[in-house]
A and B are shown apart, each in its own frame.
Chain A
C-alpha cells in the first residue's frame, strides 16, 4: 500500500535542504540541482540523485549524508540511488545557490548557452569577479581546486578567485 502523503514529502524535501555539498558547504544539494526525485512509502525513502562530474569524490559523502539526515529524522530504510540521464547541468543550480556562491567568494556559473564551446584560447566567457563585480577578469587555469571549478583572476582588484564553471 502506498502511503505517501504531502506532509511526508514536504518533510523529506525540507530535510534534504539542509544537506550541503562537502566541498562547497554554502550550497545545499537542492541548490546544486542534483536531487532528481524522492520516492516515499510509509517511512521508507528512496532519494534519486545525479552526479555533477563522473569522478567527483564528494558524491559518496553526499549519499552518506543524505542517509544520515533522513535516518536521524525517523525515516528508514533509506536508499540513495544514482541516475545519469538527463545529464546534470549548472543550469539546474538555483538562483539562491548562485547568490550564496558569490557571497562565499566563488563566481557562479554563467548560463550554459553562453559558453561550453570547444574553441581554443577562448576569450569569450565574461566571468564577473565575485569581490568587486568587475568583468575585467582572465582565466588562469581551466581546472581548479575541485572538478567543478576553474581558476580566474580579476584584472581590476587583482583578486584570484574560483569560478564554478558552466557545465
Chain B
C-alpha cells in the first residue's frame, strides 16, 4: 500500500472511529437536543469516512489492475465497505484519542472539541491539496466541521464555567485526554508527502485550545512532562479499538457479504 492510500485510510479511520464512538450516545444523550446533535456529528463523520474510503478503494483497485492486469482479484475488488468492515485492528490508522471509550458527557465533549479543532485546521490546509479529490472532500467537510467546532467549543465553556460538578468533570476529562492529543501532530511515515504542515497545524490548534480554556476557566495543561500516548497512526492500538471492531464488524464477519 502506498503513502497516498495509507494517508487516505488514516483520514477515513479517524472519522469512522470517532463517528462510531459518538453514535453510542444515540438514545442516551443527556437531553434530546444534544442527543440529536452528537448523532448528527456522527453522521457527518461517517459521511467523511465514506468519501475517503471510496477514493482509497478506487486507487487500490486501479493499482491492482496495473500490477496484475490479467489476474482475478481474490475476494473481489476493494470497496468502501471492505475497507471499513474487513480490515484488522493493526491495519487501522486512527489516532488513539478517537478509540477511547465515550466516557461521560465531559469526556465526549472535550474529545469532540480537540478533534473538531484539529479537523478544522487540517481540512483548511487540505482544501488546497494538490490531490484534487482530497481537496474536494476537505472543502466539503470543512463546512460541517465548522458547526462541530462551534458546538463543541460552546459546550467546553458551558461545562468549564458551569457548576462545580461540571467543572470538576471536565478538569478530569482534560487530565485523561491531554496525553493523547500529541499524536495528532506526530508525523507518520506515510505523511511525508501529504502536504500537511503539522507544526503550523499544532500552533493553530494550541491557540484555539488556549482561547477556549481561558473562557471556560480551565487551567491549561503543562506543555512539558506529560506522558505521550501514541501509536495508532502506525497501527499500534489499545484494546478499545478491538472492542469497537467487534461491534462494527460483527455482521460482516459472521455473515460474509450480507446486505440489507
A84 touching B33, Cβ below 8 Å? no
A118 touching B154, Cβ below 8 Å? no
Residue A114 is within 8 A (CB to CB) of chain B in the complex? no
Chain B residues in the interface with A (C-beta under 8 A): 33-34, 36-37, 40-41, 43-48, 50-51, 132-133, 135-137, 139-141, 143-144, 146-147, 149-151, 153-154, 157
Residue A80 is within 8 A (CB to CB) of chain B in the complex? no
A121 touching B143, Cβ below 8 Å? no
The 9 closest A-B pairs by CB, nearest first: A55-B47, A54-B47, A84-B136, A141-B33, A55-B43, A143-B37, A143-B40, A85-B136, A142-B151
Count of chain A residues with a beta carbon within 8 Å of a chain B beta carbon: 26
Chain A residues in the interface with B (C-beta under 8 A): 51, 53-57, 83-85, 87-88, 116, 118-122, 140-145, 147, 151, 167
Query: Which residues of B sit under 8 angstroms from A53, Cβ to Cβ?
Result: 43-44, 47, 144
Report the Cα distance A53→B142, complex, angstroms.
11
| A55-B43, A141-B34 as given contacts; A120 in contact with B150, CB under 8 Å | yes
Report the Cα distance A84→B157, complex, angstroms.
34
A121 touching B154, Cβ below 8 Å? yes
| A120-B150, A142-B151, A143-B40 as given contacts; A54 in contact with B33, CB under 8 Å | no
CB nearest to A165 among chain B residues = B147
A54 touching B140, Cβ below 8 Å? yes
Show 26 residue pairs from A and B whose CB-CB distance is below 8 angstroms, ordered by the A residue. Answer: A51-B47, A53-B43, A53-B47, A54-B47, A54-B48, A54-B51, A54-B140, A55-B43, A55-B47, A56-B47, A83-B136, A84-B140, A85-B132, A85-B139, A87-B139, A87-B140, A87-B143, A118-B150, A122-B150, A141-B34, A141-B36, A142-B150, A142-B151, A143-B33, A147-B40, A147-B43
